Amino acid sequence: MLALACVLGLLCGSFLNVVIYRLPHMLMSVEASPRFNLAWPPSHCPHCQHRLAAVDLIPIWSFLAQKGRCRYCHSPISHRYPLIEFFTMLCWGGSYWLTATPITAVMTALFLSLLLALTIIDIQHLLLPDVLTFSLLWLGLLWTVLGPEQRLSTQEAVLAAALAYLLLWLVAQGYWLWRGEIGLGLGDAKLFAAIAAWIGLENLPLVLLSASSLAALYGLLWRQRQQTPYIPFAPALAFAGAAIYLWQIVSSQ
């Protein structure tokens, strides 16, 4: 079963690569073709535009077998693709290893996979697509209804999500009134709300404190490298939320 979980993780990671690459372009490009979506056009090399065969799309193995280069034009392939597949495999395999039931493993793996996708997109584009954050939120609320462990009630999850959003919304509005500029994106508030639906009320202060501390640590380096006043907050929120959720899962077993 662990091997099956890892294979599912690799397949999920391959799909996440498509989402991470295409979704921001679908949202940000006003001139995007109406046929450009997650399913069309078929996977192709971004350099030579050659359509990729099934053998070119085997997670991790294809990258290693082709020595990190396109089989048709020999252009280098970004290391991001096998790395995302590898980390998603860890999310799924680790979820099965840590949790007590298959349904808990699947939900945990989906939670971690969505956080991974949001983290990478925010790092690359300073963008948090609503379709991903709302999916994370609704999965968390659904889990309170269907979950066999009943760690949270639906009422607590809804209240936690609402309070988390309100808290960061107030921070964003306060900064705007004080400085007259955007200091925190509302996408971060939506992500915090989605995470809150999974971890509950009592852990909100710990997530926010941990995420703020982590963001402060990498913020200076980010600004020096990117030459921008804005830093992605989603990686810190995702890391803190995932760590606390996993601790809840392990400690409850």
Same domain (yes/no): 149, 62? no
Average pLDDT over residues 73-89: 93
End position of a domain, from candidates 44, 79, 98: 98
End position of a domain, from candidates 83, 98, 113: 98
Residue 56 lies in a domain: yes
3-state DSSP call for residue 51?
strand
Residue 104 lies in a domain: no
Residue 118 lies in a domain: no
- Residue 151 has a pLDDT of 74
Residue 108 binned pLDDT confidence (cut-offs 50, 70, 90): very high
Same domain (yes/no): 206, 92? no
Between 227 and 206, the more confident residue is 206
Residue 134 binned pLDDT confidence (cut-offs 50, 70, 90): very high
Same domain (yes/no): 240, 138? yes
Residue 109 lies in a domain: no
Q: Tell me the β-bridge partners of 69.
A: 76
Residue 163 binned pLDDT confidence (cut-offs 50, 70, 90): very high
Residue 175 binned pLDDT confidence (cut-offs 50, 70, 90): confident
> What φ, ψ does residue 180 adopt, rounded to 5°?
75, 25
Residue 115 lies in a domain: no
For residue 216, is pLDDT > 80? yes
Same domain (yes/no): 153, 47? no
Same domain (yes/no): 143, 79? no
Query: Dihedral of the CA atoms 186, 188, 194, 195 (nearest 10)?
Result: -160
For residue 139, is pLDDT > 70? yes
For residue 217, is pLDDT > 90? no
For residue 32, is pLDDT > 60? no
Count how many domains the chain has: 2
Same domain (yes/no): 77, 163? no
Q: Within a 10 A sphere around the Cβ of 237, how many other Cβ atoms?
A: 29
What is the share, in percent, of the chain residues with pLDDT greater than 90?
Answer: 57
Average pLDDT over residues 228-239: 86
pTM: 0.91
3-state DSSP call for residue 206?
helix
Average pLDDT over residues 54-82: 90
Same domain (yes/no): 133, 85? no
Average pLDDT over residues 32-60: 80
Candidate from 66-80, 154-168, 183-197, 215-229 with smallest mean pLDDT: 215-229
Q: Provide the domain limits for residue 238.
A: 127-253
Residue 107 lies in a domain: no
Same domain (yes/no): 147, 212? yes
Same domain (yes/no): 88, 146? no
Average pLDDT over residues 160-177: 89
End position of a domain, from candidates 79, 98, 117: 98
Rg (CA), the chain: 19
Same domain (yes/no): 183, 71? no
Same domain (yes/no): 93, 174? no
| Among the listed residues 114, 48, 51, the one whose alpha carbon sits nearest the alpha carbon of residue 84 | 114
- Residue 33 has a pLDDT of 55
Same domain (yes/no): 134, 240? yes
Residue 234 lies in a domain: yes
Average pLDDT over residues 191-216: 93
- Residue 227 has a pLDDT of 61
Residue 113 lies in a domain: no
